[in-house]
Structure 1
C-alpha cells in the first residue's frame, strides 16, 4: 500500500505522465465511440469528390473517392492502437521471457542469448520487416506480428540486466535455500520484480510501431482492407497541391498519437524508476 501511495503521488506530480494518460483516454474513447463520433462510414464512396474543408457537410473534406476524411481519421485510431498494443505485447512478452531466462540462468544460456540479441540489433529491422511482408503478405495481422518479433531485443536487454541484478538479492537466495526450483524463482520473483523498466520501454515502443505501420502503408505495403493513416498519406500524395487535406490531417494524427505514447512511456519511466520513488519518499 505504501508503494502504491508513492506511485500515485508521483503520478500527480509528473506532467508528462498526466498528459499521456489523458491522451490515451481520449484515444480509447474515440476507438469505442467511433461509430457515434464519425459523421459517415469511412468505407462509403460518395459523389462529393475532393471537397474542401467544410464543403457539403464534410468537416475535413473528402478524398478522390468521395470518402469523408474526418471519419477516416477517427476510424484510423482503431488501426493505430491495435497495431501499437498487439505488437508491443508480442515484443514485451518475448523480451521479458528471453531476457529473464538469460540473466537468471547465466553461463552458456546467457552467452547464446546475448549473441542472438546482438545479431537482431545489427539487422536493419525495417528492411527485415519489408522482406517478411513481401514473403508472407501484408495483412494487418502479419504487420503486427512482424513488428513485434523484430523489436523484442531492447526489452530483452533491459530484462536481462534486471535479472542479473535480482538473482543476487537476498530474497532470491532465500527462495533457493528453501528448495524452490529455478523456474519457480524465475516466474515468482525475477520477472515480476524486473518487469517495470520493460513496461516503460514497451509503451514508448508503441509509438515506433505506429510509425512503422504508417511507413509500410505509405510504401503501399499496408493492408488495403483497413483504414490507415499511412495509407491516407500514400493515396493523397498525388493530390498534395490540389487537395492537401487528404495527407495533412492524417500526418497530424500520426504526430499527435506518437507524442501521446511518448509522453506516457517517458512518464512511466519516471514513475517506475526506483530511484525516483525513493527520492519522493524523502
Structure 2
C-alpha cells in the first residue's frame, strides 16, 4: 500500500497536502498570531506592517489569522457536504442498480433531471429561500451533488449483481438487503470514494462562490467571504482578497490531486497496466 502511494505522485502530494491542512485546522489557535474575530486598530495595514504577516483588512483583522481559521470552514464544508452527497449517492445508486426494474427507472429519471438542472442557480435559489447559514450551505451542496455518485454506484451495482459470489449468496438464502449492504456496496464503493474526494474541491469552490456573491454566512471566517470583503479594495489593499484566493486554489488543487490519485489506484485497468 505504501509503495503504491509513493509510486503515484498525485496521490502522494494529495495525502501530504491533506495532512498539512489537518495540522493547520487542529492547531489553528497556536498558528494564528491573533484572533481573527477581534477587530483591531491597525486598519488596512500593508504586508508586514505592525507585525501583521499578510496585512489587515478594513476592520483591522489580521489576514494571516483569517486564512488559518478559514481553512476550518473550507474543510468543514468539503467533508460534510461530501458525506451527504456520498451517502445519498451510494444508497440511491446501489438500490437502483441492484433491484433494477421500476426503482431503477425512477432513480434514473431523477438523476437525469438533476443533471439537466443548473446546480449553482438551484443552490442560489434554496439559499435565498432558507437562509445562508453555513449549515444550510453544506446541506444544500450535499443534496444537489449526489447524482454523479448515484450514477457511479448504479453502474457498479448493475455489474456486481451478475457476479458469481452475489448469485451464491442469493442461493444460500441471504436477503436482498443483506446482499446489498454486505456485497454490492462494499465492493462498488471505490469509484464513489474517488469521485466524492474530487467533489470536496467543488464544494469549497461553491461555498466561495456563494460568499463572493454575498450569500455566504457573515458570522464565520471563510475565504470566499474575505474575497467578497476585499473586492472593493483591490487597487488599494489587494492583499485582502488575493491571499484568500491563493488559499482556495491550493486547497482545491490538493483535493483534485487526492481524488485523481485515488482514481488511479482504485481503477483496475490502471493497476493491470502498471503490472504489465
Partner deviation per Cα, 1:120-158 (whole Å, 9 max, x = no partner): 111111011011111111000000000000000000000
State which of 218, 223, 242 in structure 2 corresponds to 1:229. Answer: 223
Give the equivalent residue in structure 2 for 1:153. 147
State which of 127, 130, 150 in structure 1 corresponds to 2:124. Answer: 130
How many angstroms does 1:11 deviate by? 1.4
Q: Give, in whole Å, the separation in 1 of the partners of 2:114 and 2:147.
A: 7
Q: Give, in whole Å, the separation in 2 of the partners of 1:106 and 1:204.
A: 28
Partner deviation per Cα, 1:178-206 (whole Å, 9 max, x = no partner): 00000000000000000000000000000
Answer whether contact 1:75 1:227 (CA < 8 A) is retained: yes
Q: Give, in whole Å, the separation in 2 of the partners of 1:37 and 1:158.
A: 40
Partner deviation per Cα, 1:69-119 (whole Å, 9 max, x = no partner): 000000000000000000000000000000000000011111110000000
State which of 245, 251, 254 in structure 1 corresponds to 2:248. Answer: 254
Answer whether contact 1:87 1:148 (CA < 8 A) is retained: yes
Give the equivalent residue in structure 1 for 2:113. 119
State which of 44, 51, 69 in structure 1 corresponds to 2:45. Answer: 51
TM-score normalized with structure 2 length: 0.99
Q: Give, in whole Å, the separation in 1 of the partners of 2:175 and 2:17.
A: 43
Q: Give, in whole Å, the separation in 2 of the partners of 1:278 and 1:239.
A: 53
Q: Give, in whole Å, the separation in 2 of the partners of 1:201 and 1:194.
A: 12
State which of 65, 73, 96 in structure 2 corresponds to 1:71. Answer: 65
How many angstroms does 1:281 deviate by? 4.5
Give the equivalent residue in structure 2 for 1:23. 17
**Does 2:89 match 1:89?**
no
TM-score normalized with structure 1 length: 0.97
Helix, strand or coil at the partner of 1:39: coil
Partner deviation per Cα, 1:223-282 (whole Å, 9 max, x = no partner): 111001001000101111000000000000000000000000000000111222334455
Q: Give, in whole Å, the separation in 2 of the partners of 1:172 and 1:276.
A: 25
State which of 193, 196, 207 in structure 2 corresponds to 1:202. Answer: 196
Structure 1 residue runs of 4 or more that deviate by more than 4 Å after TM superposition: none
How many angstroms does 1:12 deviate by? 1.6
Give the equivalent residue in structure 2 for 1:3. none
Where structure 1 has 5 or more consecutive residues not aligned to the other structure, the ranges are 1-6
Where structure 2 has 5 or more consecutive residues not aligned to the other structure, the ranges are none
Helix, strand or coil at the partner of 1:30: helix
